[in-house]
Amino acid sequence: MTKPFDVLPVDASFGAVVTGLRLPELDGPAWRALHDSWLEYALLIFPGQFLEKDEQIAFARRFGPLEFEMGAVSNVREDGTLRVEEEGDDVVKILKGNEGWHADSTFKPIQAKGAVFSAEVVPTVGGHTGWADMRSAYDALDAATKAKVETLSAYHSLHYSQGRIGHVPKKGTDDYRRLGFEGDEDVLRPLVKVHPDTGRKSLLIGRHAHDIPGLAPEASQQLLQELIDFAAQPPRVYHHDWRAGDVVIWDNRCLLHQATPFDMTQRRIMWHTRIAGDPVSEAALG
């Protein structure tokens, strides 16, 4: 069946640019076709949408309940001043930490289903966002490695991942709660995840993962790093060069993503709406 919009795959094992539609105006058939494309490509990019905040939230809600409606991912404070890395700002430390490959909310009891992300102000240098296809990464593993990782799990923790870059957040602040540090206890997740809608297997790894039960700490860290190094390679990666007005939605159940450095003397304002995971399929072990 012909889709009521245009889909152009990017040069990777996943991802597509979608044009010929306005996201706030999707009717039922167009929405169902778009959802099918999302499950197929895992990352959809919509140039020049310029969504209002309520439009972004409404679009994300079509994919399910939200973990949160809208959060700024930005180096600009509410008063318009720029955050300064040298001041030990917790938000800047999170921005830096997010340069490591990760999936959202794997350190929480319920992992996120996906996210809608939009660009309001972009810097002239850097600030791309990368995604990596963990479905194709799993498929590309040799038989022995597949058999090994199928039996393993790893703990996930935001305190662990931020600690690796020397970040100890300031407790009791609004940023501490908003950034996800409050209530962060290690949760256990399998290294291989089965997608609840497609049935495809993917690697569930990333910067929050650590301490595989049954392995010595050094062996655990080495295996997790080797898996990331293997997984996040062409043709399984795509980095998006943002333009103001761009909107993307990605499937957090089978992709990792990363921030990339940018000139922090320039303003960068992005808006993140996170789609909550299903309590059955996205729950941590136990």
Give residue 171's pLDDT.
66
Query: Has residue 214 got a pLDDT over 50?
Result: yes
CA distance 259 to 73: 10
Domain ranges of the chain: 6-275
pLDDT, position 227: 98
Q: What confidence tier does 174 reach under pLDDT thresholds 50, 70, 90? A: low
- Cα(243)–Cα(120) distance, rounded to whole angstroms? 8
The two three-digit tokens of residue 117, written as one number: 């992300």
Residue 102, beta-bridge partner list:
257
Least confident of 29-33, 69-73, 135-139, 158-162: 158-162
| pLDDT at position 176 | 47
Lowest mean pLDDT among 19-23, 25-29, 162-166, 248-252: 162-166
Between 182 and 190, the higher pLDDT residue: 190
Whole-number average pLDDT of the chain: 93
Query: Do 30 and 22 touch, CB atoms closer than 8 A?
Result: no
The pTM assigned to this predicted structure is 0.94
In this predicted model, what pLDDT tens digit does every residue of 50-62 receive, in sequence order? 999 999 999 999 9
Give tens-digit pLDDT for 119-142: 999 999 999 999 999 999 999 999
283 by Cβ neighbours in 10 Å (0-12 / 13-18 / 19+) ranks as middle
Cβ-based neighbour number of residue 92 at 10 Å: 18
pLDDT(180) > 70: no
**Distance (Å, whole) CA 83 – CA 86:** 9
Q: What's the mean pLDDT in 95-118?
A: 95
Average pLDDT estimate for 158-168: 82
pLDDT digits (tens, 9 = 90+) for 242-267: 999 999 999 999 999 999 999 999 99
Domain spanning 6-275: CATH 3.40.1010.20: no
- Which pLDDT band holds residue 169 (cuts at 50, 70, 90)? low
* Residue 173: predicted pLDDT: 62
C-alpha distances out from residue 148 to 53, 192, 224, Å? 44, 10, 12
E runs forming strands in 159-200: 187-190, 192-194
Cα 182 from Cα 262, distance rounded (Å): 28
Task: Using alpha carbons, select from 117, 130, 145 the residue that is nearest to residue 272.
Answer: 117
Q: DSSP class of residue 25?
A: G
Name the amino acid, one letter, at 143: A
114 closest CA partner among 285, 258, 259, 248: 248
Tokens 């209530």 map to which residue? 183
How far CA 249 is from CA of 35, 58, 256, in Å, comes to 11, 13, 13
In angstroms, the CA 105 to CA 156 distance is 9
Q: How far apart are CA 32 and CA 49, in angstroms?
A: 19
Structure tokens at 158: 């935001």
Mean pLDDT of 209-230: 97
State how far the Cα of 187 lies from the Cα of 205, in Å rounded to an integer. Answer: 13
Region of residue 151 (left: phi > 0; alpha: psi -120 to 50; beta: else): alpha
Nearest Cα neighbor of 69 from 77, 81, 58 is 58
Q: How confident is the model at residue 89 (pLDDT cuts 50, 70, 90)?
A: confident
Round to whole Å and give the CA distance between 101 and 137. 14
pLDDT for the residue 3: 85
Q: How many helices (H) and strands (E) does the chain have?
A: 8, 15
